[in-house]
Amino acid sequence: MHEKWFAIASFIVIIIGAWYLFALLMNGNQLVNNYERRNMDWTISSVVAEAYQVKRPMLPAPHQVIDELYNTVFDTRITSKRSLVFHTLITLQSTLLGFLLGTALGILIAVGIVHNRTLEASLMPWVIASQTIPILAIAPMIVVVLGAVGLTGLVPKSIISMYLSFFPVTIGMVKGLRSADSLHMELLHTYSANAHQLFWKLRWFSAQPYLFASLKVGIAAALVGAIVGELPTGAQGGLGARLLSGSYYGQTTQIWSALFMAALLGSVLVWLVSLAEKVLLRRRGLAHE
Amino acid sequence: MNSKLVCGFFALSFCSLSAISLMVEPGFFDRSPVLLLLFPAIYVSAAKVMSLLTAYGDQGRPLSRYSRISVPLVFALIVGLTWESMVSGYQVPFVLLPPPSTIVSAFFNNTSILWADFRQTYLKAVLAGYVIGCTSGFVVAKLAVKSRYLQNGLVPMGNFMSAIPIVGIAPIMVMWFGFDWQSKAAVIVVMTFFPMFINTLTGLKSVDALQKDLFHTYAATKTQTFFKSQLPQALPFIFNALKINSTLALIGAIVAEFFGTPIVGMGFRISTEVGRMNMDMVWATILVAALAGSISYGALALLEKATLFWHASVRGMRAR
């Protein structure tokens, strides 16, 4: 256990150290070019001192990002458009809606596929093909087109999230619903259970561990979908809009803080799902300690 | 006998509907809603035909392979037909949803533009990023399999990276590496590295203990053990990562182009043509992306089948 924590901690230290080094090199290079263009004198110590305080750095130093995060999270009112919490909540909404829709759709398709051989033969190839199509590429178009019909805001973004998150759920559920122990299946057959009873008394439970594994993948995918869906909506808000406006105006610290927020949001969401998994599966005595 | 009847019925209603959607002037569903009754007829008969084909495909007769392939094709045909006739039958505005026929004609009329976009996005950015990302993921996994320290540090990082939206680094990469394909390749490298790393590591670690002992008794050198035991055992995992990455790479390149690009590329084409409301061109680009994605996935699947003919997962597929 100690060995593990040591490895993780040392990796984090190495990454932060490398980050400061690269920030110095990249920003310093920019500064030096600037000085030389204006024929000003510079010393190494003055460049080092300034490299971590540039307003629009090539690579903001970690403390600058944390500063920006702190300012936009704690020192700004939540209702303000400058608050990162405001944008995070917008993204969170469409992520969750899309995730719920995607999970429902995924389970529905999986149930259909498991119970009907024709559905499996006709649908399964397209379910797989649907993921080789880079749907994220058409995400902006879905947003624009649905906006033209009058559907703006939450729904178009959630549709993209739904599309991305239904696939892992379908695949996992098909596997899970089929993973029921054959002895149990035969036992239920001897009780002359019908398909309905078979599903609710056996299959649904055998599928749960698989379902949670797919939900973890699905919620991360839903977040990606929500963020990319926000790219073309411009100023309307959300972490994706934050990324886009940051890149338009060269506000690198804004990009990095939005990115950190997205990473934080993603890991919290996945953590929540695995927490639910632990609670539910432990109650059934299935949790892997 | 019965199946032939159903097939005939299906073909008849199919032909009549396509004839209607092609011959009659647009807006016919608005004027005569009775025609809508053709749809239930088509769906019922198509479902019958598909279930017959599926049953035939499961019997293992000589033509079963083709009937298995034809089932999803019939399904796609139904979707395409519904799309085409609904769009022209209700006169859906072109901006909202162009009919499939317009998309296909846009595809064939603009092949030179689409080819230039494809070359910029796929042949330059995707291939370069994919190769670099997958190779480095593989090499690092090969190093990490021997070092507990590297594993302890990198595996949690890989798990963390799978939870976060990596495409978000696209604006940063565009700023660092410029507007051309290099920045897109950089995004792809970051996106593809960790799936490859985690999968290769799992694969290399999955080697059977008995096999390891056997190689030891043969006094196999490290190189021999790697190429004859570890690598073949890890190949299914590596192919899995290659397939996941082929989709990720295309997504990464197209999304990164939204943040800035020279005036060529698939992502650029989509965002500009949306602005000009040229929806047929947008959909034609999506068609190119879909084809590129599916073909590279399919090629990898075929390659997997060819190299892993001895593995249980592939043999099981053939038996089915």
Q: How many helices (H) and strands (E) does chain A have?
A: 12, 0
**Could A140 and B286 be called an inter-chain contact, meaning their C-beta atoms sit closer than 8 Å?**
no
Q: Does A133 touch chain B if contact means CB atoms closer than 8 Å?
A: yes
Minimal Cα distance from A7: which residue of B?
Answer: B153
Q: How far, CA to CA in Å, does B165 sit from each of A105, A266, B217?
A: 22, 7, 47
Both tokens assigned to B79: 């979707």
With cut-offs at 50, 70 and 90, classify the pLDDT of residue B22. Answer: low
Check pLDDT > 60 for residue A234: no
Contacts of A129 in chain B (CB under 8 A): 294
Separation CA A250–CA A243 (nearest Å): 10
**Could A247 and B176 be called an inter-chain contact, meaning their C-beta atoms sit closer than 8 Å?**
no
For the residues A112-139, what does the mean pLDDT come to?
A: 78
Both tokens assigned to B167: 């495409």
When the pLDDT of each residue in chain B is averaged and rounded to a whole number, the result is 82
Chain B, 214-273: which have a CB under 8 Å from a chain A CB? 246-247, 250-251, 254-255, 258-260, 266-267, 270-271
For the residues B12-29, what does the mean pLDDT come to?
A: 67
What is A84-283's CATH superfamily?
MetI-like (1.10.3720.10)
Check pLDDT > 80 for residue B103: yes
Separation CA A111–CA A169 (nearest Å): 11
Least CB-CB distance to B293: which of A132, A138, A148? A132
Q: How far, CA to CA in Å, does B33 sit from each of B30, B89, B142?
A: 6, 10, 65
Q: Does A270 touch chain B if contact means CB atoms closer than 8 Å?
A: yes
**Could A132 and B156 be called an inter-chain contact, meaning their C-beta atoms sit closer than 8 Å?**
no
Contacts of A171 in chain B (CB under 8 A): none
Q: Does A2 touch chain B if contact means CB atoms closer than 8 Å?
A: no
With cut-offs at 50, 70 and 90, classify the pLDDT of residue A42. Answer: confident
What pLDDT is recorded for position A155?
81
Least CB-CB distance to B171: which of A6, A255, A266? A255
**Could B251 and A256 be called an inter-chain contact, meaning their C-beta atoms sit closer than 8 Å?**
no
Predicted model pTM: 0.83
For the residues B8-32, what does the mean pLDDT come to?
A: 68
Q: Does B276 touch chain A if contact means CB atoms closer than 8 Å?
A: no
Check pLDDT > 50 for residue B177: yes
When the pLDDT of each residue in chain A is averaged and rounded to a whole number, the result is 82
> Distance from B28 to chain A by nearest Cα, in Å?
22
Q: Does A173 touch chain B if contact means CB atoms closer than 8 Å?
A: no
Least CB-CB distance to A148: which of B95, B266, B267? B95
With cut-offs at 50, 70 and 90, classify the pLDDT of residue B318. Answer: low
User: Positive or negative CA dihedral for B37, B40, B41, B42?
Assistant: positive
**Could B154 and A231 be called an inter-chain contact, meaning their C-beta atoms sit closer than 8 Å?**
no
> Distance from A171 to chain B by nearest Cα, in Å?
14
Task: Report percent pLDDT > 90 for chain A.
Answer: 9
Least CB-CB distance to B157: which of A11, A131, A231? A11
What is the per-residue pLDDT across B202-226, written as a single tens digit (0 to 9) for each? Answer: 889 888 888 889 999 999 998 898 8
**Exposed/middle/buried for residue B114 (C-beta within 10 Å: 0-12, 13-18, 19+):** buried
For the residues B300-312, what does the mean pLDDT come to?
A: 84
What is the per-residue pLDDT across B66-76, written as a single tens digit (0 to 9) for each? Answer: 777 788 888 88
Q: Does B320 touch chain A if contact means CB atoms closer than 8 Å?
A: no
**Could B293 and A134 be called an inter-chain contact, meaning their C-beta atoms sit closer than 8 Å?**
yes
Break chain A into its structural domains and give their ranges: 2-59, 84-283
Please say whether the beta carbons of A258 and A87 come within 8 A: yes
**Could A252 and B74 be called an inter-chain contact, meaning their C-beta atoms sit closer than 8 Å?**
no
Pick among A115, A141, A216 to test the B interface (most B CBs inside 10 A): A141
With cut-offs at 50, 70 and 90, classify the pLDDT of residue A104. Answer: very high
Q: Does A250 touch chain B if contact means CB atoms closer than 8 Å?
A: yes
Both tokens assigned to A226: 């929500």
Tokens 């990249």 sit at which residue? A26
Contacts of A136 in chain B (CB under 8 A): 167, 251, 254-255
Cα A54 from chain centre: 30
Alpha helices in chain B (DSSP H): 2-23, 28-31, 38-58, 64-89, 100-109, 111-118, 127-144, 148-163, 170-177, 181-205, 209-217, 222-225, 231-257, 266-275, 279-307, 312-319
**Could A11 and B153 be called an inter-chain contact, meaning their C-beta atoms sit closer than 8 Å?**
yes
Q: Does B97 touch chain A if contact means CB atoms closer than 8 Å?
A: yes
- The residue among B247, B237, B219 whose CA lies nearest residue B145 is B237
**Could A231 and B255 be called an inter-chain contact, meaning their C-beta atoms sit closer than 8 Å?**
yes
Separation CA B8–CA B38 (nearest Å): 15
Least CB-CB distance to A132: which of B167, B282, B294? B294
